[in-house]
Structure 1
Amino acid sequence: MENKDLNNNWLIASEVELIYKSTVKASQRPQITSSCSAYQIALKAWDSNKIELLEQFKVLMLSSSNKVLGVLEASSGGITGTIVDLRIIFCAILKANAVGFLVVHNHPSGKLVPSEVDRQITRKIKEASKILDIAFLDHLIISKEGYYSFADEGIL
Structure 2
Amino acid sequence: MEKLSKTENWLAVSEIQLSYRTSVRTSERPKISSSASAYQILLHAWNPDNIEFVEQFKILLMNKGNKVLGIYEVSTGGISGTVVDLRLIFAAALKANATGIIMAHNHPSGNLTASEADRDITRKVSQAGKLLDIAVLDHLIISPEGYYSFADQGAL
> Is the shorter-chain TM-score for this pair beyond 0.5, marking a shared fold?
yes
Pairwise CA distance, 1:9: 5.1
Tell me the residue number matched to 2:128. Answer: 128
Give the alignment of 1:90-129 within 5 angstroms: 90-129=90-129
* 1:108-150 Cα shifts (integer Å, max 9, x gaps): 0000001111010000001001111111100000000000000
Q: Say whether 1:85 aligns with 2:85.
A: yes
* Corresponding residue SS for 1:8: coil
Q: Is the 8 A contact 1:57 1:73 kept in 2?
A: yes
Q: Is the 8 A contact 1:60 1:71 kept in 2?
A: yes
Task: Give the Cα separation in 1 of the matches to 2:18 and 2:49.
Answer: 27
Q: Give unmatched runs, 5+ long, in structure 2.
A: none
Tell me the residue number matched to 1:47. Answer: 47
* Corresponding residue SS for 1:124: helix
Give the 3 Å change call, closer, same or farther, for CA 12–123 of structure 1 in structure 2.
same
Tell me the residue number matched to 2:151. Answer: 151
Q: Between the two proteins, what is the percent identity of the paired residues?
A: 58
Q: Structure 2: which amino acid aligns with 1:131?
A: L
Tell me the residue number matched to 1:6. Answer: 7
Task: Give the Cα separation in 2 of the matches to 1:44 and 1:106.
Answer: 13
Name the count of aligned residue pairs.
Answer: 154
* 1:36-91 Cα shifts (integer Å, max 9, x gaps): 00100100111111100100000100011111001000000101000000000001
TM-score, structure 2 as length reference: 0.91
Q: Structure 2: which amino acid aligns with 1:66?
A: N
Pairwise CA distance, 1:32: 0.5
Tell me the residue number matched to 1:67. Answer: 67
Tell me the residue number matched to 1:32. Answer: 32
User: Where does structure 1 differ by over 3 angstroms across 4 or more consecutive aligned residues?
Assistant: 3-7
Give the 3 Å change call, closer, same or farther, for CA 14–87 of structure 1 in structure 2.
farther
Task: Give the Cα separation in 2 of the matches to 1:14 and 1:117.
Answer: 38
Task: Give the Cα separation in 2 of the matches to 1:114 and 1:142.
Answer: 11
Give the 3 Å change call, closer, same or farther, for CA 9–49 of structure 1 in structure 2.
farther
